[in-house]
């Protein structure tokens, strides 16, 4: 209390900090008045005998309360009085200059949602499972330093982690597959099923609506076969039978007892229709054997992700000591469930790479804002007269700033709102499509959440501040007198600074790259396919012979694999034979991949090339040995596969391959293919002797890469009977390909009543379906390229408009003195031309880099890079000049008499 | 049924036909107007604040008083005059307020409204509050 004593000689003053706050924030006439009130109140309280300490506290409260009240009143006043008028003015400006508004709105409407897209996708990917404390459920996996790719987790990993990771209170695994559920209706498509550990339900805190979840005893090999149904399947196939529990259902070849029904909210991991217990016997399997598992766990109470990470590192180091070959290049990691399920690389919000992308996108947004700002500056320059007169009539600078800000805000909010609306529609469509694809996590929802909408609107406000207030600050910076004088003489008071010029140069440079990219994408998208596919997709039908549950699970339960293959072979070969005999069929082939579906590439290195030579990306397609003969595809060079090719070569694997003419042209450079040997990346021990494959034949193009026929390098590997998994049939039909799928199902049912044909579709539809997603991605890329190209054009347009507005009088005088049109054009266009030239030249290098990267993609066609860049530069220059045309013509139309009269 | 246009005001919705916007006063505004009435010629910010605090025990900020008085003045319920410090005395200009007839009517109406609503209910209110 002694601290409150004041020296008697010194007058008591309000607390310094609060007095300073009041002084700084309470400004203007009303602020001074309130400050006076505050000081007087403080003095009078002391006079009334309030203790000094108390008086000071009350003073501080009085200041804080006053600030709040004044700020609130100011905000309310702005909303009810000034802002409404400004909003109206803003809307009127949009109507008055529709082109400028359209360009600025397009830039902001696309720029802001585009800038937030990465942020949004990151948030979606990091979103936890929608289960209680879902953020504590995490995935466990290895990734490989070797380019052959990340190894899948196996039952050995699951057992090792279960035994040694104490940071998790439970560890489970899932393996997804397709099964036939036979409920009496013939020809029903197979459904997605997952084999899960019993612990899964505890980890996910999921309980069935009927019956029970799995118990550990269900996991034991040889235990009675049981199944859990999804609510959807229970409703669609069993009419919500309340007595379903205990009944049996035939799944694949075996009867399973239904033990429960899971609620519709549980579809783990991806729109699953039923669950089977995961029966894995590590003793019967080698370290790399068994099905691929996705392993996950729930963190133990008190344990953090970092604890789990550290413990996993220790456990992996211990396992690596026991098995150095397997673990040599493996790195363990704990990842989010979305990342685990989608097989993506791990990342965190603070990932340097991600931060870099964010920075890059923020930069893009800044460029967009800078550009819109430039446009606004040009517009403001044309309104200098109006603004100066308003200032002269008593409008404060703040009032004008607020007006220009609100005008920009109206535009930015309208643009962002429209952009968000489009983004939401697109996100809904994408989410729906993702769920239809069926392999994506069921909780993946790309629709916009309130957080992202708020961020977008915040960014719109910030953009409005950047694009509206900064030009306005410059416009209102001069004195009233000078502004009025300049306005009267027809000159603008503003200058187009070096910053704006640099911005335009950089943007032109960037746009050349984006234009080159967009052009290449367009060419890839709309390249002619007819005749280049090597076949007519409309005449072909494809269908997959669905696996029975028993067949899929055979590997897992340690059943006799050869017997399983023999069983599968019988059905496959019989169906092949029956199809070949059918009157409506001209040819039939069996393979793992058929044209248009599931494109899959592998990296290839030729024996004839040095070790450090670049690897080639080639489509990989294992086919039945009778594939080409069955489909009447001639072997152009060498020979077709024979049954002798199924024998293992000297290195323990089959060596014969057939390649297509695309391979010969692009990989071999047109050399004779027969006898050439190559090896694949990503197989076997990297230190072991390479496994060489020998080319024995060459076939023509056959829809290897229908989306981009210009990159159709393909290699075919021979498959023996029963080895095709999935077993896809490609059938050339004589009649209507749309009518044939029903016939295909009929024939399949006659071969084996349990066999079903999944996705029986004309190949043209498959190609269309597969290409629609790529087309969409390409179109997005094209859209972004278009914006990036549009921006500098707006900058150039603004610069030219600005120059013409600024030099109206000069142009008038020169025209009066008889200056020729080209001289006037060179005067007003010199700066824009220089910026255009520098930008286009700089852009060539950037375009080169982009094109090299882009054309590496198998979906993008190979282009002549120097030619593309030259064409792009020319187009950019022509369009740049065109952007300047309208203001230049305006300049040329200036009548000397009018310009001089105004001066 | 005819609707006059409705004015949304912070404390509620009032039709201009019934009582009118001028007649509607928030509680804080009523306190200020009563203080102005009581202080007569000496009604300025600090004095109003002290009166409210002395009579109701409520501590309000100078800024809140100032903005409320501004609003009341805009609505024509009070009038103000600014007085400079007297000759030879140091100090600051003060803004004094007086009640205008519209303000007096509005205050009377507000008070009557409350009284009309409260009529005969106070014993029950006390009973409820006590229980």
DSSP, residue by residue, A341-356: HHTPPP--TT-HHHHH
Q: Please count the helices (runs of H) and the strands (runs of E) in chain B.
A: 5, 4
Distances (CA, A) of A29 to A26, A33, A388, A397, B95: 9, 6, 24, 16, 12
**Least confident interval from A74-83, A615-624, A653-662:** A74-83
Per-residue confidence at A221, pLDDT binned at 50, 70, 90?
confident
Q: Give the Cα separation of B100 and B74 in Å (integer).
A: 12
Is it the case that residue B19 has pLDDT exceeding 60?
Answer: no
- What is the pLDDT, as a whole number, of residue B21? 46
Using a CB-CB cut-off of 8 Å, the residues of chain B touching A64 are 61
Is it the case that residue A424 has pLDDT exceeding 60?
Answer: yes
For A874, counting Cβ atoms within 10 Å of its Cβ (0-12 exposed, 13-18 middle, 19+ buried), the class is exposed
- What is the pLDDT, as a whole number, of residue A336? 87
Q: Do B66 and A72 touch (CB under 8 A)?
A: no
**Residue B77 near residue B22, CB atoms below 8 Å:** yes
Pick the more confident residue, A108 or B116.
Answer: B116
How close does chain B come to A51, measured CA to CA in Å?
A: 17
How close does chain B come to A418, measured CA to CA in Å?
A: 30
pLDDT tens-place string over residues A227-259:
999 998 999 888 899 999 999 988 866 789 999
Q: Do B60 and A65 touch (CB under 8 A)?
A: yes
Best of B63, B82, B94 to mutate (most A CBs within 10 Å, chain A): B63
Domain ranges across chain B: 27-103
CATH architecture, range B27-103: Orthogonal Bundle (1.10)
Q: Give the Cα separation of A590 and A727 in Å (integer).
A: 7
Q: How far apart are the first and last CA of chain B?
A: 43
**Least confident interval from A56-65, A126-135, A207-216, A395-404:** A395-404
For A677, counting Cβ atoms within 10 Å of its Cβ (0-12 exposed, 13-18 middle, 19+ buried), the class is middle
Q: Could you tell me the two tokens for A305? A: 């992700």
Backbone angles phi, psi at B101, to 5 degrees: -55, -40
pLDDT tens-place string over residues A341-361:
877 666 666 666 677 777 767
Q: Judge whether B92 is closer than 8 Å to chain A, CB to CB.
A: yes
How close does chain A come to B28, measured CA to CA in Å?
A: 13
- What is the pLDDT, as a whole number, of residue A80? 64
How close does chain A come to B125, measured CA to CA in Å?
A: 33
**Residue A617 near residue A601, CB atoms below 8 Å:** yes
Q: Do A37 and B65 touch (CB under 8 A)?
A: yes
Pick the more confident residue, A602 or A806.
Answer: A602
Average pLDDT, chain A: 80
Domain ranges across chain A: 2-92, 97-123+352-494, 134-335, 500-527+766-903, 547-755
pLDDT tens-place string over residues A149-190:
567 788 888 888 988 899 999 999 998 877 777 776 555 666
Which segments of A633-720 are extended strands (E)?
635-638, 656-660, 677-680, 693-699, 714-719
Q: How many CB atoms lie within 10 A of CB A895?
A: 11
Q: Judge whether B60 is closer than 8 Å to chain A, CB to CB.
A: yes
Pick the more confident residue, A753 or A172.
Answer: A172
Q: Do A36 and B64 touch (CB under 8 A)?
A: no
- What is the pLDDT, as a whole number, of residue A681? 72
- What is the pLDDT, as a whole number, of residue A25? 83
Per-residue confidence at B20, pLDDT binned at 50, 70, 90?
very low
Q: Judge whether B47 is closer than 8 Å to chain A, CB to CB.
A: no
Q: Do A33 and B61 touch (CB under 8 A)?
A: no
Q: Give the Cα separation of A291 and A683 in Å (integer).
A: 17
Q: How far apart are the first and last CA of chain A?
A: 76
- What is the pLDDT, as a whole number, of residue A200? 92
Q: What is the DSSP string of B70-104?
A: HHHHHTTSEEEEEEPPPTT-----EEEEEE-HHHH
Q: Give the Cα separation of A668 and A632 in Å (integer).
A: 25
**Of the candidates B28, B70, B30, the residue with the CA atom closest to the CA atom of residue A73:** B70
ipTM of this predicted complex? 0.78
Is it the case that residue A289 has pLDDT exceeding 60?
Answer: yes
Q: Do B62 and A34 touch (CB under 8 A)?
A: yes
Strand A274-277 versus strand A191-196 pairing type = parallel
Q: Computed from CA positions of residues A516, A518, A519, A520, in that sequence, does the dihedral angle turn out positive or negative?
A: positive
pLDDT tens-place string over residues A805-864:
667 777 778 877 887 878 878 877 787 788 888 988 888 888 888 888 777 777 777 788
Strand B6-9 versus strand B12-15 pairing type = antiparallel
Backbone angles phi, psi at B13, to 5 degrees: -115, 130
Average pLDDT over residues A728-744: 87
How close does chain A come to B115, measured CA to CA in Å?
A: 30
**Of the candidates A850, A784, A692, A731, the residue with the CA atom closest to the CA atom of residue A419:** A784
What residues contact residue A154 under an 8 Å CB cut-off, 6+ apart? A285, A287, A288, A289, A290, A291, A292, A293
- What is the pLDDT, as a whole number, of residue B17? 36
Instruction: Write a three-state SS string for A778-806.
Output: HHHHHHHHHHHHHHHHHHHHHHHHHHHHH
Q: Could you tell me the two tokens for A349? A: 């919000």
Is it the case that residue A93 has pLDDT exceeding 70?
Answer: yes
Q: Do B61 and A40 touch (CB under 8 A)?
A: no
- Which chain B residue is nearest to residue A71, measuring alpha carbons? B63
Per-residue confidence at A556, pLDDT binned at 50, 70, 90?
very low
Average pLDDT over residues A886-897: 75
**Least confident interval from A93-97, A469-473, A544-548:** A544-548
């Amino acid at each position: 209390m002694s601290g409150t004593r004041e020296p008697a000689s010194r007058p008591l003053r309000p607390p310094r900090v609060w007095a300073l706050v009041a002084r700084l924030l309470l400004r203007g006439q009303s602020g001074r008045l309130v400050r006076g009130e505050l000081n007087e109140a403080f003095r009078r309280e002391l006079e009334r005998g309030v203790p000094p300490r108390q008086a000071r506290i009350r003073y501080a409260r009085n200041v804080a309360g006053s600030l709040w009240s004044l700020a609130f009143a100011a905000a309310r006043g702005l909303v009810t009085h000034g802002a409404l008028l400004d909003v109206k003015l803003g809307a009127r400006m949009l109507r008055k200059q529709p082109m400028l508004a359209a360009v600025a709105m397009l830039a902001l409407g696309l720029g802001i949602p585009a800038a937030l897209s990465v942020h949004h996708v990151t948030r979606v990917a990091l979103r936890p499972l929608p289960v209680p404390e879902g953020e504590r459920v995490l995935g466990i996996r290895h990734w490989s330093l070797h380019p052959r790719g990340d190894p899948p987790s196996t039952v050995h990993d699951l057992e090792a982690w279960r035994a040694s990771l104490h940071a998790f209170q439970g560890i489970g695994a899932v393996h997804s597959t397709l099964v036939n559920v036979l409920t009496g209706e013939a020809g029903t498509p197979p459904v997605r099923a997952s084999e899960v550990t019993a612990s899964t339900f505890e980890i996910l805190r999921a309980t069935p609506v009927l019956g029970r979840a799995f118990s550990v005893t269900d996991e034991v090999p040889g235990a009675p076969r049981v199944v859990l149904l999804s609510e959807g399947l229970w409703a669609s196939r069993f009419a919500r039978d309340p007595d379903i529990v205990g009944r049996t259902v035939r799944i694949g070849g075996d009867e399973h007892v239904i033990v429960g029904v899971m609620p519709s909210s549980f579809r783990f991991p991806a729109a699953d229709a039923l669950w089977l217990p995961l029966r894995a016997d590590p003793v019967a399997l080698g370290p790399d054997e068994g099905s691929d598992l996705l392993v996950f766990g729930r963190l133990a109470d008190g344990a953090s992700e970092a604890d789990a990470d550290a413990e996993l590192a220790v456990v992996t180091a211990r396992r690596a000591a026991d098995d150095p070959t397997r673990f040599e290049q493996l790195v363990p990691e704990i990842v989010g469930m979305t990342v685990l399920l989608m097989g993506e690389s791990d990342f965190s919000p603070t990932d340097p790479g991600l931060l870099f992308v964010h920075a890059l996108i923020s930069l893009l947004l800044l460029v967009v804002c800078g550009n819109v700002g430039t446009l606004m500056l040009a517009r403001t320059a044309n309104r200098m007269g109006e603004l100066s007169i308003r200032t002269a009539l008593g409008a404060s600078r703040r009032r004008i700033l607020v007006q220009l800000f609100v005008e920009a805000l109206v535009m930015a909010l309208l643009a962002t709102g429209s952009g968000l609306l489009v983004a939401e529609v697109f996100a809904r469509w994408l989410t729906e499509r993702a769920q239809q694809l069926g392999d994506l996590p069921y909780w993946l929802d790309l629709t916009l959440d309130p957080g992202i909408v708020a961020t977008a609107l915040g960014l719109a406000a910030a953009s409005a501040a950047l694009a509206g207030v900064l030009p306005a600050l410059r416009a209102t910076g001069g004195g009233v007198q000078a502004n009025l004088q300049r306005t009267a003489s027809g000159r603008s008071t503003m200058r187009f600074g070096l910053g704006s010029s640099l911005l335009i140069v950089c943007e032109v440079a960037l746009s050349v790259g984006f234009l080159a990219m967009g052009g290449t994408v367009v060419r890839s998208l709309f390249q002619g396919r007819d005749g280049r596919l090597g076949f007519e997709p409309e005449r072909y039908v494809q269908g997959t012979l669905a696996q029975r549950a028993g067949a899929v699970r055979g590997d897992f339960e340690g059943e006799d694999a050869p017997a399983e293959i023999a069983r599968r072979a019988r059905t496959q070969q019989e169906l092949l034979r029956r199809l070949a005999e059918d009157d409506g069929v001209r040819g039939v082939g069996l393979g793992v991949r058929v044209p248009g579906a599931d494109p899959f590439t592998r990296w290839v290195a030729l024996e004839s090339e040095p070790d450090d030579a670049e690897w080639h990306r080639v489509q990989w397609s294992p086919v039945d040995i009778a594939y080409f003969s069955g489909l009447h595809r001639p072997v152009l060079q060498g020979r077709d596969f024979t049954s002798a090719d199924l024998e293992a070569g000297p290195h323990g694997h089959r060596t014969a391959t057939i390649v297509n003419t695309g391979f010969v042209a692009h990989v071999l450079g047109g050399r004779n293919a027969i006898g050439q040997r190559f090896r694949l990346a990503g197989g076997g021990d990297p230190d072991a002797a390479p496994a060489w494959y020998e080319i024995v034949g060459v076939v023509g193009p056959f829809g290897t890469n229908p989306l981009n026929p210009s990159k159709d390098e393909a290699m075919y590997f021979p498959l023996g009977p029963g080895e095709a998994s999935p077993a896809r049939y490609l059938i050339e039909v004589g009649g209507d390909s749309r009518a044939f799928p029903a016939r295909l199902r009929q024939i399949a049912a006659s071969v084996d009543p349990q066999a079903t044909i999944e996705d029986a579709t004309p190949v043209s539809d498959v190609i269309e379906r597969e290409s629609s997603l790529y087309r969409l991605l390409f179109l997005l890329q094209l859209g972004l390229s278009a914006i990036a190209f549009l921006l500098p054009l707006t900058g150039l347009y603004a610069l030219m408009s600005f120059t013409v507005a600024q030099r109206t009088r000069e142009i008038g005088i020169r025209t009066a003195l008889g200056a020729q049109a080209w001289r006037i054009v060179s005067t007003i266009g010199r700066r824009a031309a220089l910026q255009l030239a520098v930008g286009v030249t700089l852009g060539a290098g950037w375009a080169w880099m982009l094109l090299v990267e882009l054309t590496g993609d198998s979906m993008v066609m190979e282009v002549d890079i120097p030619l593309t860049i030259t064409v792009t530069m020319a187009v950019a220059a022509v369009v740049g000049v065109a952007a300047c045309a309208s203001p230049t013509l305006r300049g040329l139309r200036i009548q000397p008499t009018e310009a001089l009269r105004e001066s | 049924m005819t609707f006059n246009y409705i004015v949304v005001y912070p404390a509620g919705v009032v039709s201009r036909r019934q009582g009118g916007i001028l007649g509607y006063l928030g509680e804080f505004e009523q306190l200020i107007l009563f203080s102005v009435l009581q202080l007569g010629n000496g009604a300025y910010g600090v004095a109003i604040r002290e009166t409210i605090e002395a009579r109701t025990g409520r501590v309000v900020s100078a800024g809140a008083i100032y903005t409320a008085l501004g609003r009341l003045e805009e609505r024509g319920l009070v009038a103000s005059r600014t007085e400079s410090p007297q000759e030879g005395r140091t100090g600051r200009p003060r803004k004094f307020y007086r009640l205008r007839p519209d303000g007096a009517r509005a205050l009377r109406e507000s008070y009557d409204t409350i009284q009309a609503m409260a009529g005969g209910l106070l014993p029950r209110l006390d009973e409820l509050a006590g229980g």
